[in-house]
């Protein structure tokens, strides 16, 4: 690794000489340690820190901070290896003309490991992002703490975590995993709003495969333990996973376009070519009236939002619920929807956690919520009960009850039991609740309800099955017809499915200036 030579004689004394010297130092700092190090990085299928920043930010907008910073550590040969930037590139630029702060680990320098100077650069850019009220993106590709600097490196991580927490809900924080992230370093991404990963080249874990094998005897690869697919499908740590860095960073830009710069602003509007009053005739055929027949809720979302475009969060984790960012008439919205194609759309532990975090994020950043309901209940089972479905389901309930952004719920078909209440029902504070003529709002399905309510009549009947069918029909007719909830004021209106998009847009426009005040308190104590 090359480094700046120690100065043994005075440099230039005239201004032009000094400027030339500065230019040479900048070239050296920008180029990195060596061509060989760059080639090694590229051979791994990875871009350099500056190449990544160029893809993320608008062309020519990056303004670097502390490019000439070098560490002051000694021992273990560090005093002879003092490269500029100290392995992290920090600064700000723009995405679609809006200010965004960024720091990017440079794996070519000390493997991107964090030392004292390295950490102080990150601390500074995090403080600047919070003070400026602008999003912060971290491009992570580092080998953890710089062992040669000992506890000073660990303290540097503590400062990052403290700032992650202080900025939570104030500015959007996005972590992009583009290389290894092990040990305590993994907690910073976990504290941020969104985590992106790239397949094959990025990994996150607290203890690596070697330690796992030594302690438990289990053998597993790095990607199997903490790769993009593992975290996108199994752990839920990663919100997004992509095949390459270029598509990953393009999606980061798209996400930023849907978010406000900070919690004091609304998300940016975008001119809409899709007519607000566009009728959704295909919805009549997309959703079967028979509540036992599945359908793809993604197609409903596509039909409702502008140009059919949306960004799904946690697409492959807990697929029985959909969480997505989209636009309605050019305004950003968060969509939460049950997915009948997966587990019939029931709420379970993972789905409750996924939706709760998404609702909290939308509420923090002034993004209105639209909830599409088709839920048969909570998933029954010993594993779910012992796993804490009560407290995990309560997380979603708490998130909705605590949210002050505009909230609209639309009941497409089933809305049974406690799951109906939890999915942003009117009783927990939804501003407007609509339903399609196919809705069934009830304590439980007609078959189960009839078995409980009319069990004696069924048991005494000469033909129990015929009596059961009769009682099911009677219960459905009396208590589950599509206008029962509307008659009691629990649904604001029953709408024609083809008019849903127009109804949602008009309602959100009315609610845009909504003001809601929470009780004075330090913070709540949500279920964990």
pLDDT digits (tens, 9 = 90+) for 145-168: 776 777 877 888 899 999 999 999
Return the ∠ at Cα 314 (arms to 311 and 315), rounded to 5°.
70
Task: Using alpha carbons, select from 309, 381, 330 the residue that is nearest to residue 509.
Answer: 330
| Ranges of the chain whose pLDDT falls below 50 | 1-2
CB 47 within 8 A of CB 41: yes
CB 101 within 8 A of CB 128: yes
**Dist. CA 47–CA 178, nearest whole Å:** 9
CB atoms within 10 A of CB 156: 22
CB atoms within 10 A of CB 456: 8
Q: Is 183 a catalytic residue?
A: yes
Q: Is 184 a catalytic residue?
A: yes
What pLDDT shows up at residue 33? 84
> Which of the residues 150, 184, 280, 387 is marked catalytic?
184
**Dist. CA 23–CA 17, nearest whole Å:** 10
Task: Using alpha carbons, select from 151, 129, 148, 147 the residue that is nearest to residue 138.
Answer: 129
CB 163 within 8 A of CB 191: no
Tell me the per-residue pLDDT of 33-69, one tens digit each, with 9 for 90 and over: 888 888 999 999 999 999 999 999 999 999 999 887 8
Tokens of 473: 């029909």
Task: Using alpha carbons, select from 135, 205, 125, 118 the residue that is nearest to residue 169.
Answer: 135
What pLDDT shows up at residue 74? 60
> Which of the residues 129, 238, 419, 446 is marked catalytic?
419
**Dist. CA 284–CA 289, nearest whole Å:** 9
Return the ∠ at Cα 235 (arms to 234 and 241), rounded to 5°.
75
Residues 6+ apart with CB under 8 A from 162: none
- What percentage of the chain's residues is helix, strand, coil (to nearest 5)? 45, 20, 40
Q: Is 419 a catalytic residue?
A: yes
How many secondary structure helices (H) and strands (E) does the chain include? 21, 17
Q: CA neighbours within 13 Å on the CB side: how many for 44?
A: 19
CB 321 within 8 A of CB 354: yes
CB 126 within 8 A of CB 136: yes
Tell whether pTM > 0.85.
yes
If phi over 0 gives left and psi between -120 and 50 gives alpha, with beta otherwise, what is residue 183?
left
Residue 257 φ then ψ, to 5°: -65, -20
What pLDDT shows up at residue 493? 95
Q: Is 393 a catalytic residue?
A: no
Tokens of 364: 């923090």
Measured between alpha carbons, how far apart are the two ends of the chain, in Å? Answer: 47
Q: Where are the beta strands (DSSP E) in 158-299?
A: 173-177, 180-182, 194-198, 203-205, 240-242
Strand, helix or coil for residue 415: strand
Tokens of 460: 């005494």
> Which of the residues 159, 169, 183, 387 is marked catalytic?
183
What pLDDT shows up at residue 479? 66
Tokens of 244: 């390459």
**Dist. CA 320–CA 297, nearest whole Å:** 10
The bridge status of strand 173-177 relative to strand 98-105 is: unpaired
If phi over 0 gives left and psi between -120 and 50 gives alpha, with beta otherwise, what is residue 16?
alpha
Tokens of 401: 């009850």
């Amino acid at each position: 690794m090359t480094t700046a030579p120690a100065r043994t004689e005075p440099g230039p004394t005239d201004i032009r000489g000094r400027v030339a010297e500065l230019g040479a130092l900048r070239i050296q700092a920008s180029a990195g340690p060596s061509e060989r190090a760059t080639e090694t990085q590229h051979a791994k299928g990875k871009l350099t820190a500056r190449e990544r920043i160029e893809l993320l930010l608008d062309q020519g907008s990056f303004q670097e901070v502390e490019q000439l910073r070098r560490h002051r550590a000694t021992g273990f040969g560090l005093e002879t290896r003092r490269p500029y930037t100290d392995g992290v590139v920090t600064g700000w630029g723009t995405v679609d003309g809006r200010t965004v702060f960024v720091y990017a680990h440079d794996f070519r320098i000390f493997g991107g490991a964090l030392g004292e100077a390295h950490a102080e650069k990150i601390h500074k850019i995090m403080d600047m992002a919070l003070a400026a009220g602008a999003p912060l993106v971290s491009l992570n590709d580092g080998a953890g703490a710089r062992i040669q600097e000992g506890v000073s490196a660990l303290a540097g991580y503590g400062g990052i975590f403290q700032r992650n927490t202080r900025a939570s809900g104030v500015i959007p924080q996005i972590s992009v995993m583009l290389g290894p992230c092990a040990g305590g370093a993994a907690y910073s991404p976990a504290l941020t709003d969104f985590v992106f990963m790239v397949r094959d080249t990025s990994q996150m874990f607290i203890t690596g495969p070697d330690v796992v094998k030594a302690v438990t005897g289990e053998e597993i690869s790095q990607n199997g333990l903490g790769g993009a697919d593992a975290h996108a499908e199994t752990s839920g740590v990663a919100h997004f996973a992509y095949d390459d860095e270029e598509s990953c960073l393009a999606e980061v830009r798209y996400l930023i376009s849907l978010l406000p710069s900070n919690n004091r602003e609304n998300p940016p509007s975008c001119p809409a070519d899709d007519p607000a009053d566009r009728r959704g005739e295909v919805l009549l055929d997309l959703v079967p009236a028979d509540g036992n027949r599945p359908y793809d809720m993604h197609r409903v979302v596509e039909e409702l939002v502008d140009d059919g475009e949306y960004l799904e969060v946690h697409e492959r984790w807990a697929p029985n619920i959909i969480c997505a960012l989209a636009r309605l008439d050019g305004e950003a919205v968060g969509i939460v929807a049950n997915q009948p194609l997966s587990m019939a759309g029931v709420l379970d532990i993972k789905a409750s956690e996924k939706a709760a975090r998404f609702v909290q994020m939308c509420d923090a950043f002034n993004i209105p919520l639209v909830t599409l309901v088709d839920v048969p209940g909570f998933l029954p089972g010993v594993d779910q009960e012992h796993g804490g479905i009560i407290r995990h389901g309560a997380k979603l309930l708490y998130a909705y009850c605590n949210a002050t952004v505009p909230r609209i719920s639309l009941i497409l078909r089933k809305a049974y039991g406690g799951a109906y209440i939890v999915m942003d029902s009117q009783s927990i504070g939804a501003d407007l609740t609509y339903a399609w003529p196919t809705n069934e709002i009830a304590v439980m399905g007609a078959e189960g309800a009839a078995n409980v309510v009319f069990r004696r009549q069924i048991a005494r009947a000469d033909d129990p099955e015929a009596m059961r069918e009769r009682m099911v029909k009677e219960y459905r007719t009396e208590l589950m017809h599509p206008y029962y909830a509307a008659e009691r004021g629990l649904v604001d209106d029953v709408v024609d499915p083809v008019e849903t998009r127009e109804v949602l847009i008009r309602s959100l426009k009315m609610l845009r200036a909504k003001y809601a005040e929470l009780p004075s308190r330090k913070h709540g104590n949500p279920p964990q």
